[in-house]
Amino acid sequence: MSRIPVGVLGATGIVGQRFVQLLADHPWFKVTAVAASDASAGRPYAEACHWLLPTAMPEPVRDLIVQPVEQMLEYPLLFSALPSDVAAPVEDHLADSGAVVCTNAAAHRMDPDVPLLIPEINADHTVLLETQRQRRSGPGFIVASANCSATQLAVALKPLHDAFGLLKVSVVTMQAVSGAGYPGVPSLDILDNVLPFIPGEEDKLESEPRKLLGAPGHGRIEYAPFEISAQCNRVPVRDGHTECVSVELEDQASAEEVIAALRSFETSPEVASLPSSPPRPVLLSDEDDRPQPMRDRYSEAGMCVTVGRVRACPLLDFKFVVLGHNTLRGAAGGSIHNAELLVTQGYLPRPGVAL
Ligand SMILES: NC(=O)c1ccc[n+]([C@@H]2O[C@H](COP(=O)([O-])OP(=O)(O)OC[C@H]3O[C@@H](n4cnc5c(N)ncnc54)[C@H](OP(=O)(O)O)[C@@H]3O)[C@@H](O)[C@H]2O)c1
């Protein structure tokens, strides 16, 4: 079966490299083009990219010549790992020209007709694509992955919102340095230190989960009505964001019922069958000192969210710890997962069928 040819925008960055790594052995998609800034364009990928992952750079991409993003128009499926300010006009232009863009950038996440998608929790939000295609008067569209911290928070909140209703959420994050891209935070600012500010992050964490857990209707999403207060910190961890979360529930529940809701959270058979779906979206840890980024970030190939320390909260109702891999579940892995959903829902042709 021939795989669908795809292009990766921002392919030399931290998230772009994850795309290249994950797509090397993907059963449906194959990287045939890479793009980055003018500083990289025109050079072979192996020369332009400072490869940061512990596995070797995949052989088939080494000799691809990095292109400027404007030249990616001929590739109908594009994965974007561009900085948000660059992504804003570029992704719109590509989608207006007929491309399907699965993006990690924040630029279009909150556009009313852009699905902010996590297959396990809101696969029905793709209904927005009809409205978006009408706006663009063509087949192209943008589908966005959420902010990395918002992704893992929303996955953990979904079973609780469904079972008991959420009223209030308080979250304090400890975010890995890879979340800032490469070269990211200077080492002398982050070693032996905690930075209690990540520009723009708290706004994203306070708004995106409400769209993710909202209900689709009339060409837009009705945001979930609960409130979120977020405090975001950068910590000297390489990969994996940890979040301490407290929730107030609409319905009364015992700790056992909250644990049971998290443990029994399953996705639809359609989503469960996608190549990148973990066996369970939430992995519940019973150990007192877990989850930990060093030990738990690669659970289920980095695509599940690990929840632990579920217990009563004296201020709100319950509190717990959530961990997710920011460049896998929270970025490249999430976008590839979204594209797989688009294939099964018929928004992209099946592999082997011409685009
Ligand atoms: N890191 C994470 O954990 C994470 C998680 C979720 C979402 N995101 C989002 O994903 C995107 C990429 O993040 P990252 O961490 O991978 O950043 P990064 O390491 O800084 O990589 C940025 C990439 O964009 C390219 N680029 C920069 N300016 C460009 C321009 N003017 N035209 C074309 N390409 C340009 C860079 O190419 P050169 O190498 O040529 O400069 C590089 O390939 C961002 O929007 C970020 O917010 C990141």
Atom of ligand 1 nearest to the CA of 49: 39
Q: Map residue 249 onto helix, strand or coil.
A: strand
* Burial per residue of 73-107, b for 16 or more beta-carbon CB atoms within 10 angstroms, e otherwise: eebbbbbbbbeeebbeebbbebbeeebbbbbbbbb
> Which residues does a 6 A CB cutoff place in the pocket of ligand 1?
10-16, 36-37, 39-40, 69, 81-84, 86, 104-106, 148, 178-179, 181-182, 326-327, 330-331
Tokens standing for 13?
A: 């960055």
Say if residues 83 and 178 touch (Cβ distance below 8 Å).
Answer: no
**pLDDT per position as a tens digit, 282-321:** 999 999 999 999 999 999 999 999 999 999 999 999 999 9
**pLDDT per position as a tens digit, 73-115:** 888 899 999 999 999 999 999 999 999 999 999 999 999 999 9
Proportion of the chain above pLDDT 70, given as a percent: 99
pTM of this prediction? 0.97
Q: What is the mean pLDDT of residues 236-262?
A: 98
**pLDDT per position as a tens digit, 164-223:** 999 999 999 999 999 999 999 999 999 999 999 999 999 999 999 999 999 998 889 999
- pLDDT of 353 strictly over 90: no
pLDDT the model gives residue 192: 98
- pLDDT of 355 strictly over 80: no
Cα 208 to middle of ligand 1, angstroms: 20
Tokens standing for 201?
A: 């992050």
Say if residues 133 and 117 touch (Cβ distance below 8 Å).
Answer: no
The rounded Cα 201 to chain-centroid distance in angstroms is: 14
Q: Where are the alpha helices (DSSP H) in the chain?
A: 14-24, 45-48, 59-62, 84-96, 119-122, 128-136, 148-164, 187-190, 201-212, 255-263, 269-272, 293-296, 333-344
Using pLDDT thresholds of 50, 70 and 90, give the confidence band for residue 354.
low
Using pLDDT thresholds of 50, 70 and 90, give the confidence band for residue 32.
very high
- pLDDT of 352 strictly over 80: no
**CA torsion angle 338 48 27 334 (round to 10):** -20
Catalytic position from the list 108, 161, 241, 325 = 241
